[in-house]
Amino acid sequence: MAKKVTYLNVFGYSSINFLGSGAQFLISAWLMYFYTTVCNISAVQAGLIFTVARLLDAIANPIMGFISDNFGKTRLGKKFGRRKFFILAGIPSIIVVFPLLWVSGCSFQYYFIMNLIYEMLFTMVIVPGVTLPAEMTQDAGDRAKLTGAKQYCGTIASAIAAFIPGRLFLMYGQNSSDAFFLTGLSYGVMTGLALIFFYLFTYERPAEEIVYHDNVESVSQLLVKLGSDVVSSMQIRSFRLHCIMMGIGGIFKNLSSGVFTYFIIFVLMMDPHVAADITGYTTLVSSVALLVFIYCCYKYGGPATYRISTVIALVPLVGYYVLTLGQIPNLVLLFTVLSLIHTCGRAGIDYVPSYQLSFMADIDEAVTGERREGLFAGVNSLLSKVAAAIEAAVLGIGLEICGFQRNVAVQPDSAVIGIIVITAAVPFILLAITWVASVKLKLDVKNHKLLVEEVHRLKAGGSMADATPAARKVFKTLTGWDYDLCWGNSKKESVHASTVDGKI
């Protein structure tokens, strides 16, 4: 008999986002700033640290998934679980390593190696951890509770991560190395405690129910399959457009977080603790906006909701620029309001791709006649990590080109102008690209319903010759393939999809 998912299980699972969202938010908002202002690391070097670490993490994700899937065959896996063994091993490791990211006075090589180690630990815990909803229950409602609670816990964890450095800056002083180390230490311990809670109140599928598939028997075979999966998934028009929205939108989201600290401190000349407080308050309030975007996705579809989010995120950037033009009364209040609006827009840009991903397997099924949810989830995760790596490189190189100087309280005019451009101008370029993709992506409620109904008709033995003009059109619109080449017939043709005519 299947176990009943309790509220304790829901809270237990959601606590993994103290690592998944909270720790990553803290790193994005403050770690590059710490390296470039306290640790005498150049912006290019700091960007290189994060770029390489995230690219390696992108490759490590599917490898870790492969190891976890097969770990139940080992003695340790049989004793501790094929997923939870890695959670248990990661708890003390993260408590030790996370604070070591925030130690001042070390070399570039030290920070490079420590970030690589941290990313390995992060992957070791997160990849097995996020599989647990599928292990714990087959009920769609229970899975929705688990994943929804995880997202909201991530918002709370990010807010906590934002407030901690602000309090320590007040106690130890602006740009104090002690404040940064204690930030890492306190949040590292907090993350460890959250992971203990996660370990205790989640569970795996019983070992006797696990079926092992031996079609991929080694890491080298896995990497070849990953390359094949990327090519295969990109043959679906909607997924290509989704990847543009997710990837470029991800660069925007991470870049906005990374440059935000620099903008507040070096352009608006506010204290670091003010930056931390503003980030914390706006992150908390964005959880309310998330409810609105969830409703909008259900009502109007992902692409339309994405465009609404884009407008909300971009309008405050004009206000950011205005605040740099001279003495503005009530600067902190005005900037907080603008940041709140901007953060709410970013919440939608972050949420919509996650919402859209669940529909990609339906569209793919119309082409292949198969269900390949894992393929699209894996490729989506890979590309999101690549986007995060690109963001780090853009920020680091951008700051260096603009003349950003280490260990100075007042930056040269070129650096200030560069930070303003990255904060208020670059997002318009990035989101303009995603806007075009969202317009081309016709994944709304009506079209999805038509596609699913036609797939169900074909599953029931219906003839493709009897398809309505509306069904033929929606197949072409969403898949990029002519209707007659869908439902498994694409395998009989050369791979071309809609790329034949040069369209996205």
Residue 494 has pLDDT above 50, yes or no: no
pLDDT at 373: 67
In a domain, 491, yes or no: yes
pTM to 2 decimal places: 0.82
Q: Are residues 493 and 428 part of one domain? A: no
Q: What is the pLDDT of residues 149-203, one digit of tens each?
A: 887 888 889 889 989 999 999 999 888 999 999 999 999 999 999 999 999 999 8
Residue 68 or residue 271, greater confidence: 271
Q: Are residues 328 and 191 part of one domain? A: no
Q: Are residues 237 and 108 part of one domain? A: no
Q: Are residues 194 and 237 part of one domain? A: no
Residue 361 or residue 375, greater confidence: 361
Q: What is the pLDDT of residues 113-143, one digit of tens each?
A: 999 999 999 989 988 888 788 788 867 567 7
* Average pLDDT, integer, range 423-449: 93
pLDDT at 323: 93
122, 188 Cβ separation under 8 angstroms: no
- How much of the chain is in helix, strand and coil states, percent to nearest 5? 80, 0, 20
Q: Which of 424, 440, 456 is the last residue of a domain?
A: 440
Which domain does 266 fall in, by range? 233-440
164, 189 Cβ separation under 8 angstroms: no
pLDDT at 503: 46
Q: What pLDDT band is residue 345 in, cutting at 50, 70 and 90?
A: very high
In a domain, 221, yes or no: no
**CA diameter of the chain:** 74
Q: 61, 351, 353: which is closest to 229 by C-alpha?
A: 61
pLDDT at 490: 65
395, 47 Cβ separation under 8 angstroms: yes
pLDDT at 357: 80
Q: What is the mean pLDDT of the chain?
A: 87
Residue 483 has pLDDT above 80, yes or no: yes
360, 376 Cβ separation under 8 angstroms: yes
Q: What is the pLDDT of residues 36-86, one digit of tens each?
A: 999 989 999 999 999 998 888 888 877 887 788 778 888 888 888 888 899
In a domain, 1, yes or no: no
Q: Which of 390, 418, 440 is the last residue of a domain?
A: 440
Q: How far apart are CA 298 and CA 258, in angstroms?
A: 31
In a domain, 211, yes or no: no
In a domain, 169, yes or no: yes
Q: Are residues 301 and 195 part of one domain? A: no
Q: Are residues 31 and 153 part of one domain? A: yes
Low-confidence winner among 115-129, 212-226, 427-441 (lowest mean pLDDT): 212-226
Q: Count, in order, helices (H) and strands (E) of the chain.
A: 21, 0
Residue 174 or residue 348, greater confidence: 348
Q: How far apart are CA 118 and CA 113, in angstroms?
A: 9
Q: Are residues 287 and 144 part of one domain? A: no
Q: Are residues 411 and 393 part of one domain? A: yes
Q: Are residues 342 and 195 part of one domain? A: no
Residue 406 has pLDDT above 50, yes or no: yes
Low-confidence winner among 315-324, 388-397, 444-453, 488-497 (lowest mean pLDDT): 488-497
Give me the number of domains the chain comprises.
3
Residue 147 has pLDDT above 90, yes or no: no
Q: Are residues 340 and 254 part of one domain? A: yes
CB atoms within 10 A of CB 453: 14
In a domain, 227, yes or no: no
> Residues with Cβ < 8 Å from 202, sequence gap 6 or more?
9, 12, 13, 84, 132, 136
* Average pLDDT, integer, range 252-273: 91
Q: What pLDDT band is residue 497 in, cutting at 50, 70 and 90?
A: very low
Low-confidence winner among 276-285, 440-449, 469-478 (lowest mean pLDDT): 276-285
Q: What pLDDT band is residue 491 in, cutting at 50, 70 and 90?
A: low
Residues in the chain: 504
Q: What pLDDT band is residue 415 in, cutting at 50, 70 and 90?
A: very high
Q: Which of 390, 411, 440 is the last residue of a domain?
A: 440
In a domain, 167, yes or no: yes
CATH number at residue 150: 1.20.1250.20
CB atoms within 10 A of CB 460: 7
pLDDT at 321: 94
Q: Are residues 451 and 432 part of one domain? A: no
Q: Tell me the CB-side half-sphere exposure of residue 295, using CA atoms within 13 A.
A: 5
In a domain, 277, yes or no: yes
Q: Are residues 26 and 125 part of one domain? A: yes
pLDDT at 2: 63
